[in-house]
Amino acid sequence: MDTHVETSEDSLDREWWTEAVVYQIYPRSFNDSDGDGVGDLSGIVENVAYLDELGVDAVWLSPVYESPGEDNGYDISDYRAIDDQYGELADWERLVECLHDRDIRLIMDLVINHTADEHAWFQRSRAGEEPYDDYYIWREGDPAEPPNNWESIFGGPAWSYDDQREAWYLHVFDESQPDLNWRNPDVRREIADVISWWREKGTDGFRIDAASHISKPEGLPDGDPDTDPTGIAHYSHGPTLDAYLEELTERTLGEAGVMTVAEMGHTTVEQAAEYVASESNGLEMVFQFDHVGIGDSPEDLFDPEASDEWDLTALKDIVTRQQTEIAWPAPFLGNHDLPRAVSLFGDDERYHRESATLLATFLLTLRGTPFVYQGDAIGMHNAEFQHLAEIDDVMTIGRVESLQEAGVIDSHEEVRQFVNERSRDHARTPMQWTDGKHAGFTDGSPWLKVNERYTEINVEAARADTHSVLAHYRELIDLRHEWAVLVDGDYELLLPEDEQLYAYRRTLSEETALIVLNWSAEPATFESPVPTDGADAVTGNYTDVPSTPDGTTFRPYEAAIYRL
């Protein structure tokens, strides 16, 4: 059944995503309709009205394909099936229909660097069965000596020995996620067919997972042991990546109306700018991670010289480069792999509402297509984990094990500290819908603990409060839809050296917007370096928006937008 619903702009506006605000759903944690403790597709259908009320234009759905679930769906065992936990294909079709009925597009996650080891291709490959024998990256050799020194992003060697095939296979992520051999044209054909299959079913766009790792150098050289992880420079941006993307574009991704955003870890702003500028690789956008990596690297946590502080001027520098150097940026402050934005960038206790709404103002007044992560629109923040046993995330567990093996961490307290600083599970705790049992997420027992503050921070409470974080998101999303200067006006940073205020101008022909953010817990006075005569206050995150920006002392985490 083709569930693609033509919306009125389809034929007229090829670049629908330029005006869009995208909402990322992590389905496992969104809403559980059948009481098994895991979110599902029917649970999303039940809450499509919430997405509509928020005013978003598209949903990026993290993987719902059949999967053993070692990495919560980022390990696919069948690209054309829905995992039982999430429902079945008919539920997915119903979801697309409900979204399209409300003019909300659907972006699917494409995990094509690797599959699950339970995928039939890998099972046949490990049995040496043609043509699958060459679908993955195999090397023969001494079972005690991996083919090279590459390490996995999740910790430990990037190679595992398979007793059945009597050979090593490469996995840039977990050992249960063998890397596909993209040098093999049959693999590339299979992936293009998968994409076409989902496109024909009504998918409007794709987020390409781990896109920077798909191409590996020929001969698999050794990596530099000083990089973290060793080998990453070799298995990122490999020599044939452009060619693979171009081929996918010609076959399927280049189709009119299809939006593609590539997740590219370990990618500089310059590289991201080049990928986006290229006409032939099919990528409309790239997720570039410098701003969210502004804190320490995981190992630095136990380096006495390192500090957990981040600096506003450094953040301005990074975001300004993303805004001005990348032809079409994809701003985001959170996703399912990161700490909660309000915990990383704000003050999730004393100035919870103020800093969460400041972040909303920031995200929704940047140039490009903003991506809002599930839960951020109500200000969900990091959880407090007591034990490793409370953690589900394969990456946190892998990293703890390798830090323990290296003797970097040892005591229960050190493990607890690492987990609370770094775990991806902060972003994955169940969505907080109500102040009822398990935050209204499930009638059963949730797969991951619910954040303690759900009685206060939840959708029901936010809906009832006209000054809530949610109300502010709704207002700003509406504003963005009405005021083109916020979407594609030029971005110009003001006061680059100021350590409390982050201010910028957005300009599109005669229209100018001025955004002033006091990104600190202390008052800060804005001495405008540009004329602000006749400025109109458009909105702000305190109930009384200062009527004029110049010379005004902005309160802690105050955010205000002016029309100049």
- What CA–CA distance (Å, rounded) separates 239 from 30? 38
> What is the token pair recorded at 29?
């944690």
Interface ranges with ligand NOJ (CB under 6 A): 71, 74, 111, 173, 209-210, 263, 336-337
Residue 97 has φ and ψ, to the nearest 5°, of: -60, -45
Count the Cβ atoms, other than its own, within 10 Å of residue 183: 15
CB of 172 to ligand NOJ, least distance (A): 8
Least Cα distance to 98 among 143, 139, 44, 153 occurs for: 44
Residue found by looking up tokens 């109109």 in the block = 536
CB of 332 to ligand NOJ, least distance (A): 12
> What is the token pair recorded at 262?
């590539």
CA angle 515, 472, 16 (to 5 degrees): 75
**Active-site residue among 71, 263, 376, 550?**
263
**263 among known catalytic residues:** yes
Query: Which of 295, 334 has the CB closer to ligand NOJ?
Result: 334
CB of 425 to ligand NOJ, least distance (A): 11
**Active-site residue among 109, 179, 209, 475?**
209
> What is the token pair recorded at 440?
């209204």
Number of Cα atoms under 13 Å in the Cβ half of residue 390: 18
CB of 399 to ligand NOJ, least distance (A): 12
CB of 444 to ligand NOJ, least distance (A): 24
**For the residues of 104-172, what is the DSSP string, one character each?**
-EEEEEE--SB--TTSHHHHHHHTT-TTGGGSB-EE---TTS-SS--B-TTSSBSEEEETTTTEEEE-S
Query: Which of 161, 173 has the CB closer to ligand NOJ?
Result: 173
**Residue with smallest beta-carbon separation from ligand NOJ:** 74
> What is the token pair recorded at 208?
């390409």
Whether omega for the bond prior to residue 298 falls within 30 degrees of 0, making it cis, is no
CB of 173 to ligand NOJ, least distance (A): 5
Least Cα distance to 440 among 149, 16, 29, 94 occurs for: 29
CB of 512 to ligand NOJ, least distance (A): 37
Q: Quote helix, strand, coil % in the chain, to nearest 5.
A: 35, 15, 50
CB 155 within 8 A of CB 236: no
Query: Which of 74, 362 has the CB closer to ligand NOJ?
Result: 74
CB of 298 to ligand NOJ, least distance (A): 15
Query: Which of 115, 541 has the CB closer to ligand NOJ?
Result: 115
Query: Which of 325, 337 has the CB closer to ligand NOJ?
Result: 337
Q: How far is CA 47 from CA 32, 33, 41, 50, 254, in A?
A: 11, 10, 10, 5, 32
Residue found by looking up tokens 């990348």 in the block = 326
Q: How far is CA 418 from CA 293, 301, 404, in A?
A: 16, 7, 11
Query: Which of 332, 454 has the CB closer to ligand NOJ?
Result: 332
Least Cα distance to 541 among 401, 362, 333 occurs for: 362
Query: Which of 122, 173 has the CB closer to ligand NOJ?
Result: 173
Query: Which of 111, 285 has the CB closer to ligand NOJ?
Result: 111
**For the residues of 51-92, what is the DSSP string, one character each?**
HHHHT-SEEEEPP-EE---TTTTSS-SEEEEE-TTT--HHHH
Residues marked as catalytic? 209, 263
